[in-house]
Amino acid sequence: MRFVILAAAAAAVLLLQVSASSATRTEALVGGSPEALVGGWRPIKNLSDPYVRGIAEFAIKAHNDEAETGLVLVKVMKGETQVVSGANYRLVVEVKDGADTKSFEVVVWDKPWEHSRRLTSFTAVPGKA
């Protein structure tokens, strides 16, 4: 019984540390305190951050794999993040589709402590795709 209680306590501490690291990562991208970020969308201040670019590249690759397309990321044009159980990233990306340039809004759910990402939305930006 004592072992079960100790294991549960250790798991709770680990979960708190992981949640804090996710909030810290998001805080570094958007500025401000992590408490102010929970639930609401906040603009990403540094769109050229390698982590943000990695999220965008993941979204393009996931879409290409599913839709059997060959889109290539050009740049991240706009971005917001939302602290949830992990973080949602809502990005507007510019891509090349052959000779054409198109824009899409993508949403990726990221749980870095589980090494898990999921593309939850990929939609054309009206007038840009």
Packing angle of the helix pair 2-30, 50-67 (nearest 10 deg):
100
- Residues in the chain where the model's pLDDT stays below 70: 1-38, 128-129
What does the pLDDT read at residue 14? 44
What does the pLDDT read at residue 128? 60
Answer for the pair 30, 42: CB distance below 8 angstroms, yes or no. yes
What does the pLDDT read at residue 69? 97
What does the pLDDT read at residue 7? 47
What does the pLDDT read at residue 4? 46
How far are the Cα atoms of 2, 43, 104 from residue 8, in angstroms, in the given order?
10, 36, 43
DSSP assigned state of 32? S
Tell me if the pTM is above 0.85: no
Short-list 91, 90, 84, CA closest to 111 = 84
Answer for the pair 100, 117: CB distance below 8 angstroms, yes or no. no
